[in-house]
Amino acid sequence: MEIKQLSTPSEQLPDQEKIVSWIVELTGQPQTSVRSRLREEFDNPGTNVARAFRETGLEPYVWNDGLARFYEQTDAFLYELVIWNRNKLKRRMRRWVAKHLANSEKRTLDVLSIGDGLGFDSAYLARVGHRVTYFEVPGYTESFARKVFAECGQDVTVLTDESGIPLGAYDAVVCLDVLEHVPDPPRFVEVIAGYLRPGGRLIVHAPFYMIHPSNPTHLKANRRYSGSLSLYEKYNLRLVDGEPGWNPIVLQKAGSGSASRLRFTPKLLGLRLTGCYLALGRFSTLPFWWVDFYRRKHNRWFEE
């Protein structure tokens, strides 16, 4: 099957009225409250999650069982992820992923999207023409994603139990903004590698360095992996492509000769040098003080 080219990425993003109605339906909150919280999130990204997290009494940046329950029970991520998915930077990342897959494999692929939250990335890749499986923990975001898939008319497989994910079945795994949240990134990467076919690709974005009051669920212990390629290489995943700021990077599973041929290109050398900069995040957040401002600057409200 030939892969389509999307020229209008905003096509997959519902308008404000639809977003509000879906959140009202899922949470039972009044429209005025939903609209207010969305605007609050736009003005101060992360404010809903940070406030809900404070109310739990949990220690920020540290994994515990209470954090797992928080992911399943809070509605705060609905607001954070609606605004983030309208952000110019996230939309550009989404387009880049689709373009990379189209350029590397000019055919329909089996794609596993892990931790996609509201499902916008999965819907986009399905619309392009791939067979997409969406995996997320059950809760508000997973319920919202089902509405997105129904609205856009895409046949996306939804899984909420990792035992239902077949091993060695996928040409690509997309994992954006997930690893900084998990208690054991090496084990998580090992599991992901097991889902890939030989020669399959992991497309990942993991800002381990973003330890900030607006991100209390990012784990401080994971800062040690900032800028690390060994996190992936120990599981036979080799760097083959990526955006200059690792937004995202692509790693290929052993089994295809293309990985070794691409390993020492100038672009990959540049990506490895970027890793040296990101490695500073293991020791301090100061080299990345500008990131939060830069992301806020690229937020887009519904009318824009």
Residues of the chain with CATH 3.40.50.150: 87-297
Burial class (CB in 10 A: 0-12, 13-18, 19+), 217: buried
What CA–CA distance (Å, rounded) separates 85 from 81? 6
Indicate the pairing of strand 249-253 with strand 196-205: antiparallel
Which tokens belong to 57?
A: 């009494």
Burial class (CB in 10 A: 0-12, 13-18, 19+), 249: buried
Residues 87-297: name the CATH superfamily: Vaccinia Virus protein VP39 (3.40.50.150)
Residue 54 confidence class, pLDDT cut points 50, 70, 90: very high
Which tokens belong to 67?
A: 């954090």
Closest CA to 82 of 298, 304, 299, 303: 299
DSSP 7: S
Closest CA to 204 of 236, 177, 170: 177
Does residue 178 contact residue 114 with C-beta atoms inside 8 Å?
Answer: yes
- The secondary structure of 121-165, three-state, reads HHHHHHHHCCEEEEECCCCHHHHHHHHHHHHHCCCCEEECCHHHC
Tell me, yes or no, if the pTM score tops 0.95.
no
Place of tokens 């898939």: 149
DSSP 166: P
Question: Count of residues for the chain?
Answer: 304
| Average pLDDT rounded to a whole number, residues 46-68 | 95
How do residues 222-266 score in pLDDT, each as one tens digit? 999 999 999 999 999 999 999 999 999 999 999 855 544 555 789
Give Cα separations from 12 to 7, 24, 64, 130, 263 (angstroms).
11, 20, 35, 15, 35
DSSP string covering 175-236, please? EES-GGGSS-HHHHHHHHHHHEEEEEEEEEE--TT---TT-TTS-GGGGGGTT-SHHHHTTT
Does residue 178 contact residue 113 with C-beta atoms inside 8 Å?
Answer: no
Predicted pLDDT at 8: 38
How do residues 142-169 score in pLDDT, each as one tens digit? 999 999 999 989 899 999 999 999 999 9
Q: What is the CA radius of gyration of the chain?
A: 19
Predicted pLDDT at 259: 47
What CA–CA distance (Å, rounded) separates 18 from 183? 35
How do residues 96-146 score in pLDDT, each as one tens digit? 999 999 998 889 999 999 999 999 999 999 999 999 999 999 999 999 999
What CA–CA distance (Å, rounded) separates 179 from 218? 9
What CA–CA distance (Å, rounded) separates 292 from 211? 11
DSSP 109: -
Predicted pLDDT at 38: 98
Q: Inform me whether the pLDDT recorded for 4 exceeds 90.
A: no
Does residue 263 contact residue 52 with C-beta atoms inside 8 Å?
Answer: no
Q: Name the amino acid, one letter, at 10.
A: S
What CA–CA distance (Å, rounded) separates 89 from 68? 28
| Average pLDDT rounded to a whole number, residues 61-67 | 95
Predicted pLDDT at 13: 85
Predicted pLDDT at 303: 78
Does residue 134 contact residue 158 with C-beta atoms inside 8 Å?
Answer: yes
